[in-house]
Amino acid sequence: MIQIRHLQKSFGSKQVLKDVNLEIPDGSTTVILGLSGEGKSTIIKHIVGLLKPDSGEVIVDGIDVSSCSREELYQVRKKIGFLFQEGAMFDSMTVYDNVAFPLREHTNLDEREIRQRVYEKLDMVGFDTDRVAKLYPHELSGGMRKRAATARAIILEPKIILYDEPTSGLDPIISDLISRMIMKLQQELGVTSIVISHDLKESFKIADYVGMLYRGEIIEFASSSEFQNTSNQIVRAFLQGDSSVFI
């Protein structure tokens, strides 16, 4: 489904991605770990076509999003749900209208069908739908905003879901709730999930595969259990919180 080959990206004089190579297994959850500012979010922004690489290829479902036409990119994006770090919801709309927005923009469904789908997805992320649908984003807690934004991300029933720091800023209980939601969606929808995170505890709860980005390259990619038992000294230092290696 997703292949990244020799991806390079610089912002001004700073090279963030030097040579990123990844093949994301279909129907699984892959977590990408790394230090803050290493460019983890930059990788998924390339997958959805929000950024163009300086060089390299980003293949999504057979299409190179780094060089495709606008129409091809539009078709690719319809297969992808993106949960932004802060949720990125429309503050002037209710939760219901936020979740319904992609359906109104990209389908010809009538309002009865839209209501059915919106309530289905709100229920899927664990909401009391009748109560939450009427609320506005500013009335939601941080965890509720993430869940509402996830409902919007899956409303078009994508093949791929991208999560950018889904547990950032949340307490341990709500972080666990979000992790359980990610696992539930992957199992029920059969999607390919990519999660950007620095939260080790939650990452290993949800991950089938784990990669680590360091100095612009993926230095380790393995199943969750293999990753935790790696012999790579940089990865081991990261997992153990040993800052001396990174100073």
* Domains within the chain, CATH numbers bracketed: 2-79+159-245 (3.40.50.300), 94-157 (no CATH)
Per residue in 197-215, pLDDT (tens digit) is 988 999 999 999 999 999 9
pTM: 0.89
Residue 25 pLDDT > 80:
yes
> Tell me, what amino acid is at 91?
D
Q: What is the mean pLDDT of the chain?
A: 91
SS3 label, residue 114? helix
Per residue in 26-49, pLDDT (tens digit) is 999 999 999 988 999 999 999 999
Q: Locate 23 and state its tokens.
A: 């093949």
Residue 70 pLDDT > 80:
yes
Please name which of 232, 234, 239 lies closest in space to residue 207, comparing C-alpha atoms.
Answer: 239
Per residue in 102-118, pLDDT (tens digit) is 999 888 999 999 999 99
In angstroms, the CA 16 to CA 192 distance is 25
Centroid of chain to Cα 78:
15
